[in-house]
Amino acid sequence: MSMTSLQIVATPDTLNAALETWFIQNDLLGGAPYNPGFDPEKIRNSTVVYLELGEINSGLIQALKTAGNKVVLFHMGDERADKNSALYSACDLVIRNYYFSHIVSTVAGSPKVLWAPNGFRTGVGPRSATALKQADQRQAIAAFLGWINNAASYQGERASFAKAAALCGENLFVMPSNGFADGYNVGLYSAILEDSIFAPCPAGNSPETIRLYDALEVGAIPISLKHDFLVSEDALAAIGPVPFPIIDSWEQLPFYLVQMKSTLSTNPAEIIKLQANCIDWWTRYKQAIAGRISDSIKQL
């Protein structure tokens, strides 16, 4: 199965609501075309990626299979592992966002379930890794634009981050919003992020946030707490440890940023090297995860 003959089937609702459609189509699936619907007369005896952000449609899976297709379910949006995954077994392969060790398995199974990163928001990227602004040319030490008061965040991370952020002073530029992807257009968000050296990435509803991938794509250095998806070889540690800083608690953030500001003044090459390592790692990681997905699809 060639990736060039792959097709992506999705409803207009999914394509309208999903933020990362360019990343999925191009960085993960080799530029496969989107089909906003399924015509059994046109898509037969092929391999089809069924992209779903809402409830998985059993009727669509059955129709795709009846037309002789191999079905790769790309399951988005299951942040808490509380969506119905019973239909995974009806598919030939499952790719899903949000890492849970009891769901994701790269060993032979029926079906095999692969994890894939959320990726960056369309409009924030794609970016050329060679054209990103160097750390010492950026104006802000760190920035956070987003839903800082998310009361439902994983293990209350946004609350602890908010307390720490208030103590960071001029080292952290903060623009709070009133909800997920609410309040600031992609132009403002990306303009500030690409002019910041660091980007704290507190957990939202899940430990894994789009913000982390937005930061990587624009050359900002993410800061995170330790989470399973960051250290699992089935997830972001697939090509080795992540290169960006992982702190023990958000209480450490104010002092960490003070240290980084001092380092920028006394030894900017250290910060520049850290940024370069993150940019290089993210470039290689995108290639690696695309290869893992491609190899799994070819084996169907």
Same domain, 141 and 236: yes
In this prediction, residue 178 carries a pLDDT of 76
Same domain, 161 and 229: yes
> Hey, what are 97's tokens?
């966002």
Same domain, 145 and 228: yes
The DSSP H or E segment spanning 185 is none
Instruction: Give the separation between CA 228 and CA 182, rounded to whole angstroms.
Output: 27
Same domain, 159 and 277: yes
Write phi, then psi, for 107 (nearest 5 degrees).
-85, 165
Same domain, 144 and 195: yes
Domain membership flag for residue 299: no
Task: Name the DSSP class of 130.
Answer: G
pLDDT in tens, 287-296: 999 999 999 9
Domain membership flag for residue 16: yes
Domain membership flag for residue 168: yes
Domain membership flag for residue 226: yes
Instruction: Give the separation between CA 178 and CA 79, rounded to whole angstroms.
Output: 19
Residue type, 81: A
Closest CA to 172 of 180, 164, 181: 164
In this prediction, residue 209 carries a pLDDT of 94
Domain stop point among 116, 147, 165? 116
Instruction: Give the separation between CA 52 and CA 68, rounded to whole angstroms.
Output: 20
Domain membership flag for residue 296: no
pLDDT above 70: residue 3: no
Cα 109 off chain centre by = 25
**CATH number of the structural domain spanning residue 42:** 3.40.50
**CATH number of the structural domain spanning residue 150:** 3.40.50.2000
Beta strands, E only, the chain: 7-9, 34-35, 47-52, 70-75, 93-96, 112-115, 140-146, 173-176, 196-200, 221-225, 246-247
Same domain, 266 and 144: yes
Reduced to 3 states (helix: H, G, I; strand: E, B; else coil), residue 176 is strand
Domain stop point among 116, 138, 166? 116
> Hey, what are 295's tokens?
């190899």
pLDDT in tens, 136-150: 999 999 999 998 989
Instruction: Give the separation between CA 207 and CA 82, rounded to whole angstroms.
Output: 15
Answer left, alpha or beta for residue 10, where phi above 0 means left and psi between -120 and 50 means alpha. beta
Domain membership flag for residue 265: yes
The DSSP H or E segment spanning 86 is none
pLDDT above 60: residue 181: no
Domain stop point among 116, 138, 169? 116
> Hey, what are 54's tokens?
């809402």
Instruction: Give the separation between CA 7 and CA 33, rounded to whole angstroms.
Output: 5
Same domain, 142 and 215: yes
Same domain, 109 and 142: no
Which residue range forms the structural domain that includes residue 89? 3-116
Mean pLDDT of the chain: 93
DSSP3 helix / strand / coil % (the chain, rounded to 5): 40, 20, 40
Cα 56 to Cα 15, 50, 52, 203, 292, distances in angstroms = 14, 9, 6, 25, 24
Same domain, 146 and 248: yes
Q: Which pTM does this prediction carry?
A: 0.94
The DSSP H or E segment spanning 164 is helix 157-165
Q: Are 77 and 54 in contact (CB under 8 A)?
A: yes
Region 130-135: mean pLDDT is: 98
Same domain, 112 and 148: no
Same domain, 270 and 185: yes
pLDDT in tens, 222-257: 999 999 999 999 999 999 999 999 999 999 999 999
Same domain, 138 and 274: yes
Instruction: Give the separation between CA 254 and CA 256, rounded to whole angstroms.
Output: 5
Domain membership flag for residue 140: yes
Domain membership flag for residue 231: yes
User: How many domains is the chain partitioned into structurally?
Assistant: 2
Task: Please name the residues in contact with 133: beta carbons below 8 A apart, sequence gap of 6 or more.
Answer: 194, 195, 219
**What separation, in Å, do the N-terminal and C-terminal C-alpha atoms of the chain show?**
8
